[in-house]
Structure 1
Amino acid sequence: MFLKRPTNILLTVTCAIALLHFGREVLQPITLALVLSLALAPLIRAIVGLGISRTVATFIALGLSISALAGAGVVLVAQLYGLTADLPQYRAEIRAKLKEVQVLTEQPLARLPTELLEGVPGATASGTSLRSRRGTTQPVPVVIREPTSTQDSLTRAIGVVSGPLGTVGLVLVLLVFVLLDQENLRDRLVRLAGQREVSRTLKGLEDAAHGVSRFFFSQFIVNIVFGAVIGVVLWLLGIPHAVLWAALCAVLRFVPYIGALIAGGAIALFAAAVDPGWTLALVALALFVALEVVLAYVIEPRVYGHSSGMSALAVIVSALFWSAVWGPVGLLLSTPLTLCLVVAGRYIKGLEPVTILLAEIPDASAAQRFFHRALSGDAAAIIADARVFLRKSTLARYCDQVVLPGLALAIGDLRGGRTDKVQEERLRSTIALVADTLAAGKHTGRARRLTVSMLNESIGAHLRRRREEQLGRWQGSLDVPARSIVLSVGFSNIREEFRSELLVLALREAGIDARSIMLDDGDDEARPDAEHLVSTVFVVYPIDTPFEAWNEAIDALRENLPDVPLVTIRPREDGAADAALVAGRVDMVLQSFEEALAFVAPVKEAKAAKAAAR
């Protein structure tokens, strides 16, 4: 059973690739028409929004597109004609540059055999005899060819031109029918998927259509702007036919990666033909590379990040795959085709692996990534993500959305026996390092290595000890206003103690004087008489502590702090006590650290306003 399923998947994938390869003569025009229909969809929608019927809007969009392409073609043909007329005067310079490059590359290689054979007996003689043998003239075979007739030349020219023109005409006809019959095609696909999957099918079609449309529109704008900038730069450098090279750059950038290399090489070669020296070619190439780097690493990630759902690696892999299957057409269509597969994988179970492997953002939550990185010991990546998160939000929200759910996943694996001792130690050490960095307020710095052994001290105890080392035994001065301290109390077990210390970190990050104590540390007599300083007590929800012991601690807190509200935060973890029993013993049950922060923040603001009034 386990071997049968992978075999079936491999057989299905092989048949699909074979169908794509051997059926490319039929599939390529259809795919081109479908992709172009998605590219024209935003323009058609904009025209329909003006109150024009869809049929008329379709022909208007086609007319505008064909007119724009025809105009651009006329300009390019004129530029090409001018370039062809000027080529003879550049030919001598190109030959001279090629000869110079050949000499520069051959001279070091020509000296290499002599240097290697120097001192070897008979090397000079053999080398001389070899050169003499090479210098002998060989008879040149004579081939008699019949003269080619005008009819044969014309037939050959028609055959060369009719292929591309026939393909273009076929794609244009298919495009017209696809655009006019788009709604009917959508209904057929919905009917094919089944009535039960109507909503998912429509959602998938809409996502694919909008994703490809946004990608094409963004790519079109970026490439046109890039071509215009390149044209202006070349014109300022004094390179002739700058419009032609600008158009070449804009068109070739639609081909992933290879197009930019071809455009840059063509510009450098032409600049070398124009200028007697190498200065103009090197300057043009350097400016092209600089603009390409800025576009690829600064502008495109910002633009395509909202228009494409594929990772950078996925773009390269898709280009390699589709170019191998369909050649140049596949290379041009690689990104939109793969993008459609990535979107379809979100709704079709069989294509889900494609989405997981190629999507820009993997289908994993922030909590899952936290757990995976903690399990592998990658504390630097966790801290980098936390730094980005904390720039826009609070530590309380980070704990609610990332740390605590990630810890719940870790505890599930630990209790299920799915991790070994090495992974467990790595997990605890990584979490301790992250927590220690957050506690030290180093959201923008690098984490330092811990010297504490996590086998001898829990993470919560470590955080509290660090705070006591910095602020004193009572984690701060006791010479503070009445009702200004928020107290977090719990029992000395791993989960509850860590939750208590995390809450203290989140509250202190918001500017609240939060401190923690453990109810079972056996140091009650040494604690100062500071009950009048406490405004709120957060009691850790019983997870590993028996409810009876937790209930007794609540009674003791009620006796010592009769006027202070007792609040708890219910965890989203297995093993927690019954909610009804806990709610009957405290004044309020909150659901998150953010709610806790909102609960104590008004008290802090009121005290600050009262102090300012004095």
Structure 2
Amino acid sequence: MNTYPEIVPVPRRRLNAFEAIATFAITATLLYLGAGIFVPLVLAILLAFALNPLVSWMNRRLHLPDPVAVILAVLIAVAALAGFAVMAGLQIANLVQELPGYRSIMQTKIEGLQEQFGGMTWLDQITGMMSSLGDGFNGDSTGAPAEPGQMRPIPVTISNDIGPLAVITSVMGSIVGPIATAAIVTVFLIFLLMGRADMQERFIRLVSAGRYSLTNLAISDASRRVGRYLIIQLMVNTTYGIIFGIGLWLIGVPSAPLWGLLIILFRYIPFVGALIIAIVPFTLTFAVDPGWNMLLMAVGLFVVIDLTTANVIEPRLYGSSTGVSPIAILLSAMFWATLWGPVGLILATPMTVVLVVVGRHLPQFQFLETLLGSEPVLSTHERLYQRMLNGKTEDAIDLSEDYLEEHDREKWVDDVMLPALRMATAELPDRPESVPQRRQLIATFEAVLNNVVEPVWQDEAPIMLIGGRTEIDEAAARLLGMKLLDDKLGVSVLPPGAIRQEAIGRLELEPVHTVVLMFMGADIRAQCRYVARRIRRMDPEVRIAVVLLNAAAGEETADLLHVDALYRDLDKAADAIKAAQAPVKNRQAIKAQPFAGLGRGDDALGNALDAIADEFDVPVALINLTDDERHLEDEDAAELTRMAVEKGDVLVIHNSQSDSIDGDNAYLVTNGIDFFAAAPLVLADGSVVGVLALQDYEQHEFSEADIARLKAKADELVVKFG
């Protein structure tokens, strides 16, 4: 028993451009030089694909032994081809006998055209050709000048140099080649069918590289597709030829069965095969009919049959059986015709089908499916991204509408629009050179959204969605907004410019209970913290959430970003926002409390806090109130406020291991704060409502004079805003 070592797939090195071109050139040269061997072999393989279902049927249903079924199937195929050849030969012989009778009609028509379109040299050339044709069928060989209006006979010279042996050699030379090719194809076909199982196993062993399942799938798929293509094409061509032949016969075209037979064969030539053979009966109608009705009817018959077959019947029958693009079939036909002549034209489509199937299932040949296949090489979201990137608004809208005809809007958002924005985030970073492309992409994105969905945004709404850094973030915010609009929620969407330092103070948060920051990128911590801090100052009652759609930022948490919630999925974010529809506290009541509702960036308290931060050379100065529920939710941050309030004086902590606190404070450690100072805010009645706090992410010197200044600043704030 033969044993084989285990095959471990080895990663294949990708060929460079020179190696690929050299490989292609060598392969093409071998195919051209070895045409005498390869053509019969390929013909036999394709016929084996076509006859394999018949052989299997005989084995299964008629219980015939495999050799008997193979021989019988081959005999049926040979008999069908021989019958086809005999019928075509008889029709050709009959046509040759009838041709001389059409000479006078053609001569009359051409002379009439000459009179109507005189001076056209091509008509004179046709007249000369017709004269030569007439001479060829004229039996007068005297060589005498022809009378006016008569065709001049062709001089005939009789030579005794051609003997019987030369005649036999000439005849045998013209028929031996095709007969030998047919015999070789038949022998190949028989052996391929009889040994198809063994050949399949050897092919799998040769090319599988250990991937037996993929190779077996490729062989089965190729056999199914090619066999189905050949059988359906034969059925379509036969029906086409029968209808075309009967139509020509009813019109009165000579040898109509011949043209029906030939068009069956010629339609295997992609695109132009039927037209090539149809030109001949068109020419005959010109010769037979003194008028033009027969020609017009023949042309009309061909146009109707061909267009109906190509555009209605074949697409429904073939479906995705070939998987080859039309341009690939055309290029393949040119390539194989150059190598193998007319036979290459007939073999082009089935061979291309085989290459596409091999490329589909075997990774090392995947480039073949990309080059030749009919399936889109880009997914829907990749195609949409490419069109948005190029500013092709109409194409992007059409693509989206086509997708929505088969899928719902949720799937369109999740599987098309959002992945396209992910691609934009990866390829168009937040850099000046990417700005023009980002703006063009987003302009097209918004046009698609407005035309396909027509969302209605509000200027003032309880839910405010804001793009975190770039226009792409704003586009993602609009996708989230669409999910919220489905539930009739009021939503406003703002661009990233609305939360920049110079503009954030102008945010109108009066009607807002939830602010959602949308980020598609990974570097968000600094920006998110800054925005969250400023919004907290402007309105402590607003809930701040972040939607982060980038796996590269997996370490981020809501605590690190100083927000109330963090979501990594649009659907989960939408569900959570819908569920958090608690009413906002009464704004007037809030404003009646000391410091509450103030610190809106550009308001007086906000400017005062910015000035204090600058004076003490720290990045953050803020007010933490003892009754601020959101502040109290962070127990470690609230502990620092409580310690300052209980001390009744300025609390200074230089690092998380300070002796001023009991153990590490998670708020300081998590946020990387190495300096914290807080002065109590003491009202006139002696009650403490909170602290004025300074924070720095680096070590910071803080003298006794600084402590006194901070306490004085806290007292000033109480006088102005308490």
Task: Identify if the C-alpha distance between structure 1 residues 506 and 303 changes in structure 2 by more than 3 Å, giving closer, same or farther.
Answer: farther
Would the aligned equivalents of 1:342 and 1:354 in 2 still touch at CA under 8 Å?
yes
Q: Distance in 1 between matches of 2:564 and 2:71?
A: 71
Counterpart in 2 of 1:183?
197
Query: What is aligned with 1:127?
Result: none
Aligned match of 1:381 in 388, 392, 395? 395
TM-score (norm 1): 0.72
Instruction: Letter of the 1:501 partner, please give it.
Output: R
| Residue type at the aligned position of 1:571 | L
Letter in 2 for 1:371: Y
Offset at residue 506 of structure 1 (A): 5.1
Q: Is the alpha carbon distance of 1:289 and 1:143 closer, same or farther for their aligned partners in structure 2, counting shifts above 3 Å?
A: same
- Residue 596 to residue 175, structure 1, CA distance change in 2 (3 Å): farther
CA distance in 1, matches of 2:561, 2:192: 62
Cα 1:231–1:427 change in 2 (3 A) is farther
Distance 1:216 1:511, change over 3 A: farther
Unaligned regions of 5+ residues in structure 2, if any? Answer: 1-14, 124-153, 580-722
Distance 1:162 1:416, change over 3 A: farther
Distance 1:227 1:597 in 2: 62
How far apart are the structure 1 equivalents of 2:309 and 2:478? 46
Report the Cα offset of residue 357 of structure 1.
Answer: 2.3
Q: Give the counterpart of 1:283 among 297, 300, 311.
A: 297
Tell me what 2:37 maps to: 26
Match of 1:516, SS state, is: strand
Question: Is the 8 Å Cα contact of residues 370 and 382 (structure 1) preserved in structure 2?
Answer: yes
2:264 corresponds to 1:250: yes
1:355 equivalenced with 2:369 (yes/no): yes
Change (3 A) 1:90 1:169: same
The amino acid that maps onto 1:92 is: S
Q: CA deviation at 1:160?
A: 1.1
Deviation at 1:73, TM superposition (A): 4.1
CA distance in 2, matches of 1:251, 1:598: 63
Q: Secondary structure at the match of 1:196?
A: coil
**Matched residue type, 2:33:** F
Task: Give the secondary structure class of the aligned counterpart of 1:400.
Answer: helix
Q: Aligned-pair distance for 1:337? A: 1.7
Q: In structure 2, do the counterparts of structure 1 residues 342 and 526 end up closer, same or farther at CA, with 3 Å as the change threshold?
A: closer
1:251, distance to aligned residue in structure 2 (A): 1.7
Deviations 1:167-222 (A, max 9, x none): 11110110010011111111111222355232332233223222322322332233
2:43 is aligned with what amino acid? Answer: L
Q: Does 1:274 align with 2:288?
A: yes
What is the aligned partner in structure 2 of residue 114 from structure 1? none
Structure 2 equivalent of residue 50 of structure 1: 61
1:383, 1:434 within 8 Å by CA — same for their partners in 2?
no
TM-score, with structure 2 as normaliser: 0.62
Question: 417, 423, 427: which one pairs with 1:413?
Answer: 427
Q: Which amino acid aligns with 2:300?
A: A
Identify the residue that residue 228 of structure 1 maps to in structure 2: 242
Q: Secondary structure at the match of 1:415?
A: coil
For the 8 Å contact 1:501–1:516, the answer to whether it is kept is no
1:316 is matched with which residue: 330, 335, 353? 330
Shift of residue 360, structure 1, vs aligned partner: 1.7
* C-alpha separation in 1, matches of 2:516 and 2:425: 23
Q: 1:492 to 1:188 in 2, by over 3 A?
A: closer
The equivalent residue for 1:90 is 102
Indicate conservation of the 8 Å contact 1:567/1:590, yes or no. no
Secondary structure of the corresponding residue to residue 191 of structure 1 = helix
Q: Which has the higher contact order (CA 8 A, sep 6+)?
A: 1
1:148 aligned partner, one-letter code? I
Deviates more, 1:257-266 or 1:579-588: 579-588
The answer to whether the 8 Å contact 1:245/1:267 transfers is yes
CA distance in 1, matches of 2:409, 2:205: 49
Is the contact made by 1:190 and 1:201 (CA closer than 8 Å) also made in structure 2?
yes
Distance 1:542 1:345, change over 3 A: closer
Residues 567 and 91 of structure 1: CA distance in aligned 2, closer, same or farther (over 3 Å):
farther
Q: Which has the larger radius of gyration?
A: 2
The residue number in structure 2 matching 1:207 is 221
Q: Structure 1 residue 61 and structure 2 residue 73: aligned?
A: yes
Match of residue 473 from structure 1: 459
Of 173, 183, 186 in structure 2, the residue corresponding to residue 169 of structure 1 is 183
> Residue deviations 1:381-411, cap 9 Å, x none?
2222112111111233222222222222222
- Of the candidates 512, 516, 524, which is equivalent to residue 492 of structure 2? 516
| CA distance in structure 2 between the aligned counterparts of 1:435 and 1:441, rounded to whole angstroms | 10
Asked if the contact 2:478/2:493 (under 8 Å) is kept, the reply is no
The code of the aligned residue for 2:309 comes to: L
Within-5 A mapping of 1:114-129: none
Call closer, same or farther: CA 1:441–1:367 in 2, change over 3 Å: closer
Residues 189-200 of structure 1: pairs in structure 2 closer than 5 A? 189-193=203-207, 196-200=210-214
Q: AA paired with 2:45?
A: L
Q: Is the 8 A contact 2:548 2:566 kept in 1?
A: no
Deviation at 1:335, TM superposition (A): 1.5
Instruction: Report the Cα offset of residue 283 of structure 1.
Output: 2.3
**Contact 2:465–2:481 under 8 Å retained in 1:** no
Contact 1:583 1:589 (8 Å CA) reproduced: no
C-alpha separation in 2, matches of 1:166 and 1:84: 27
Alignment of 1:398-437 (within 5 A): 398-415=412-429, 421=433, 424-437=435-448
Q: Distance in 2 between matches of 1:586 and 1:213?
A: 63
Comparing both structures, which one devotes a greater share of its residues to helix? Answer: 1
How far apart are 1:35 and its partner, in Å? 1.4
What 5-or-longer segments of structure 1 have no aligned partner? 112-139, 444-462, 476-484, 603-614
Question: 568-577 or 311-320, which moves further after superposition?
Answer: 568-577
Contact 2:558–2:565, Cα closer than 8 Å, also in 1:
no
In the alignment, is the contact (CA less than 8 A) between 1:375 and 1:424 conserved in 2?
no
1:395 aligns with one of 396, 409, 413 = 409
Q: Tell me whether 70-79 or 169-178 shows the greater mean CA deviation.
A: 70-79
Q: Which one is further off, 94-103 or 213-222?
A: 94-103
Give the secondary-structure state (helix, strand or coil) at the position aligned to 2:492: strand
Conserved 8 A contact 1:322-1:334? yes
Which residue is equivalent to 1:372?
A: 386
Q: Secondary structure at the match of 1:361?
A: coil
Using the alignment, how far apart are the partners of 2:91 and 2:364 within structure 1? Answer: 50
Letter in 2 for 1:439: N
- Residue from 348, 362, 368 that aligns with 1:334: 348
Distance 1:511 1:110 in 2: 75
Distance 1:49 1:427, change over 3 A: farther
8 Å contact kept, 2:536–2:542: no
Amino acid at match of 1:281: L
Question: Does residue 11 of structure 1 match 2:22?
Answer: yes
- Report the Cα offset of residue 551 of structure 1: 7.6
Tell me, in whole angstroms, the C-alpha distance in 2 between the residues paired with 1:577 and 1:344: 43
8 A contact 1:44–1:54 mirrored in 2:
yes
Contact between 2:467 and 2:517, CA under 8 Å: does it hold in 1?
no
Q: CA deviation at 1:332?
A: 1.1
CA offset digits 1:520-568 (Å, max 9, x no partner): 6657766448x7xx9xx98757856536568879999x99699xxx998
Quote the Cα distance in structure 2 between the aligned partners of 1:262 and 1:585: 74
**Matched AA of 1:500:** A
**Separation (CA, whole Å) in 1 of partners of 2:464 and 2:251:** 69
Measure the CA separation in 2 of the matches of 1:407 and 1:42. Answer: 49
In the alignment, the residues of structure 2 paired with residue 41 and residue 512 of structure 1 have an alpha-carbon distance, to the nearest angstrom, of 61
User: Contact between 1:38 and 1:212, CA under 8 Å: does it hold in 2?
Assistant: yes
- SS of the residue 1:285 aligns to: helix
Shift of 1:21: 1.0
Note closer, same or farther for the CA distance 1:440–1:366 as it changes in structure 2 (3 Å cut): closer
Aligned-partner Cα distance in 2 for 1:337–1:434 = 42
Aligned residue pair count: 525
